[in-house]
Amino acid sequence: MYAKTGVLYVVPRHIAKYGRPLPYFMKYRGQYYANQKLSKSNSNMNRLCYALERWDNQNRWTRRKMPFDYSVMIDQGVTYDEETYNQVREVYLEYIREMRDLSKFQAMCRNYDRYKSELEDQITKAQARDFEIDWGVYYEAYKRRCAAICPDQRRLANIVTKLCYEEYPKKDKKFMWIVAENGILENIRQVKHRLPKRVFDGVGETYLGKCYTWVDYEGDDVIAE
């Protein structure tokens, strides 16, 4: 009141001490206030605080609906023939079927009592309790099969990327990393990227109070921050 009217009114101690709760926006004044029970009344300062929190949460946590550009995993300079593509596709479809069956069997083992009638001829309850599929054995087998069909890792990477993102976009994409990880990484390495780099001279785009500029990145280049 003093700042507005020039009249200084001394607030009684019992009101100053026990006049709680404080308004919600005081939580940003310091940890002491943040730990108190605060009033969420519809005051102007509280409303401003809510608006800023919503803005901050939206920037931090809203998922961007931008489609993933899988072309970065394809080397456009490396071609493949249709026969090789079809052979790898057959292996991929077999992988999908086998992984589905193995996952189902493991899930049934973990619920043995429920599926006892289906499992008792294959595995005992004691065995089912400790049963765990060694996925690495199966992955290695598929990796060898694909390498025998297409020894060139970059060519194989092109094929499995097309399979997983174009022909069967809703199926398992782990396959491509199992059988052609090195080829995919090599393909990604040779693609140019534009990545944000933080700058301190104020020339650039501002995001969450910090300034960034776009920098071209290629291969093993390293950009700070």
Mean pLDDT of 89-99: 96
N-to-C CA span, the chain: 48
How many domains are there within the chain? Answer: 3
The Cβ of residue 74 has, within 10 Å, a number of other Cβ atoms equal to 19
Q: How confident is the model at residue 225 (pLDDT cuts 50, 70, 90)?
A: very low
Two structure tokens written together for 31 = 């940890």
Tens of pLDDT, residue by residue over 174-220, are 999 999 999 999 888 766 778 888 888 777 788 777 889 888 876 55
Domain with 172, as residue range(s), is: 70-189
Radius of gyration of the chain from its Cα atoms, rounded to whole angstroms: 30
Q: How confident is the model at residue 22 (pLDDT cuts 50, 70, 90)?
A: confident
Write the DSSP symbol of residue 190. Answer: T
pLDDT value of position 164: 94
Same domain for 118 and 145? yes
Same domain for 12 and 112? no
Same domain for 86 and 16? no
Mean pLDDT of 76-83: 92
pLDDT value of position 224: 44
Same domain for 182 and 221? no
- At residue 206, the 3 state secondary structure works out as strand
Same domain for 15 and 43? yes
Same domain for 103 and 170? yes
Q: Tell me which of 61, 79, 104 is where a domain ends.
A: 61
Q: Is the pLDDT score of 8 beyond 80?
A: no
Q: How confident is the model at residue 1 (pLDDT cuts 50, 70, 90)?
A: low
Tens of pLDDT, residue by residue over 103-161, are 999 999 988 888 888 888 888 888 888 888 899 999 999 999 999 999 999 999 999 99
Element (H, E) at 114: none
Q: Tell me which of 31, 61, 91 is where a domain ends.
A: 61
Same domain for 129 and 162? yes
